[in-house]
Chain A
Amino acid sequence: MFPEARLDVTLRTHGGAVQGVVVRSTRLVQASRLFAGRRPHDVTQLLPTVFALCGTAQVLASLGALEQAAGQPLSTAQGPARHLLLLGEIVSEHSLALARDWPELAGLAPDLGMVRRLKLALGGLRATLYPAGDWNRPGGGVLHPDHAALRAAFAEARSALDQLLDAPLAAVTSDLYAYQAWIAASPSPVAQLLKQVSSDELAAFGRGPFQPMPEQGPADLSARLETDREGLYVAQPDSAGRVFETGPLARMAWHPVVAGLIGRFGPGLLARLSARLVEVASSLQEMEDLVQDLDNDQGAAACLVDGVGLGLVEAARGLLAHRVELEGGKVTRYQILAPTEWNFHPEGPLARGQAGAPVTDDLLRRATLLAHALDPCVACDIKVENA
């Protein structure tokens, strides 16, 4: 039987407070080592299937690493198309969480018809940009964007989101006042969860020292990966002892809604959940703006020579890094560092946010909400143990 990777989080309480947070992971953080010996093209073919839930981000990080290793410049047309694919996955992943998981967290039944509508709205992006299906080809596939189909897909996604929120997404996230007014008045299940989390105690739960991931990743990322022969770094990364938070809160902390919530409640549950909603609005807007920049492009023949490359992308859940070493046209070493290893690090934001928290009747629910807000890419079980 294939063991399903998971996270087990235990809150150890004593004297009325959380004294320690233990995180056990069975995630297969070193499985990419087995890409060694394969041809680069075989790796980018395999990635979307074995990482189906964040397959676009995985492929784009891989392409970035492979093309850097080969010193292969990417044509200017491929950049916007790849960025559009990445944003599409971010909107899709966050939207599914809003429609499928948030109602359940609020004690409500999700509207599965809406979940399906949101999933299908952006499901055809790869084919709409790269009709030959070669979007994952090193050097770039044959880009032939169907502008009308893209605009129609974005309009459908926006319409579905407006319906889910029971208000226009853009208006809801325009400023803090509008956002809080919507939370207070809207019957939408998304607003219902945010309303539950808006009490002072819950809104602030999970705030700890906020250490957002730097925009291009930690300065020592490449060097640490290079020397990580045992795989300890990709399992529990740090940068000079600091364990960064990566994902929507780190990326959207500048936004007026998120900044306002951080100012009022700290970087806790309400700011983290809201950052995901705000990122949906921001990413969808960016996608709509990008359409006019898309041009046809033939791509380039893969020209993969010996070398070392690092590919970084901001995936839905945070910074994703791929590092590759190529020799004789084959991969000799392959490493992946995923965002969950930062956020669910034993000294990361999940653990920091709960250290010292008072034991309350709803501690388990609070911890569950925090795990959802930090959005692990695998199932996460939480329990509370009184020492």
Chain B
Amino acid sequence: MNPPRAAGPTLAQSLFRGRLNTALTLLVGGLLLWFLIQFVPWAIGHAVWSADLQACREARGQGACWGVVSEKWRLILFGRYPFEELWRPVVACLLMVAAVLAIARREWWKPWVFVSALFAIVFSVLLMLGGFAGLSEVPTERLGGLSLTLLLAIIGNIASLPLAVALALGRSSDLPLVRAVCTTFVEVVRGVPLVTVLFMASFMFPLFLPSGMNPDVLLRVGVGLTLFSAAYQAEVIRGGINSVPRGQIEAAQSLGMGYWLTQTKVVLPQAFRVVVPPLVNSFIALFKDTSLVTIVSLFELFGSLRLALADPEWRPFYVEGFLFVALVYWVFCSAMSRYARGLERDFASARR
């Protein structure tokens, strides 16, 4: 039986005990109240919901103009994808989200689920690009918006995993040369900002390829993102590998298991649990970082918002556009970080 908990302070006590505390309560409470009184009528009461420019101009200062979202949602969510083919990015996005949700369920952590999720993701990318089975080919510069953000974040994170595992194993290897190569790669990539990696992908990669071979900018940026996230994931995975007790490896060796057998059957499976929550965190970081690809002119979620606001008529209502896009990012990121925290808690209590 648990010992009885000491009674904490009541709500009134925690709000109004002590002079400083009371002053803080009044200050913060007053500010919040003022904010609500200002914000709620602006965002809801006097807001214009339809894409009516005239009404928006009249409501300026008193009400929000969500019309900018009703007018530009297609651009913001799906970029300049051809209108009659819009079902393709819609299906692809739903499929990608479903695949990620399936991977996230712990009861479903089985090889066949992973493999089918991988197939679903590859299929949704192909669906968006087209060029097979009677689907018209869509040039990559027409891809954009949320669909491009999801595509880049998911591909960048999944394609990098094998490389990350290899780098992590290499960095904790006994072979000095292998260790040096992996350490150098990881430290160099982690030492420079993503912007420089993206510049490298868009300006330098073509110079290093045989002449005549000029891969699409989407592919180049995808490779850049993959290499970048591999370096960060490698460090996370190395942390997991290091957390496996030394005795486990010694036990495997005394059973006569070689290096690869020890790693794949003993070390990596045990590292997996420790590694998942921080890997989700690195996924979140990359999800947010995909917004940087707008600097090398790929218009993902934030980039296509800027495209939408390049329209001088809707430009004055940038606050509403920004709030909408920020909300989309926030929903995705905070859902993932909640998931990571939940996993961490469960694993911690399972270990006890």
On whether the two chains bind one another, the answer is no
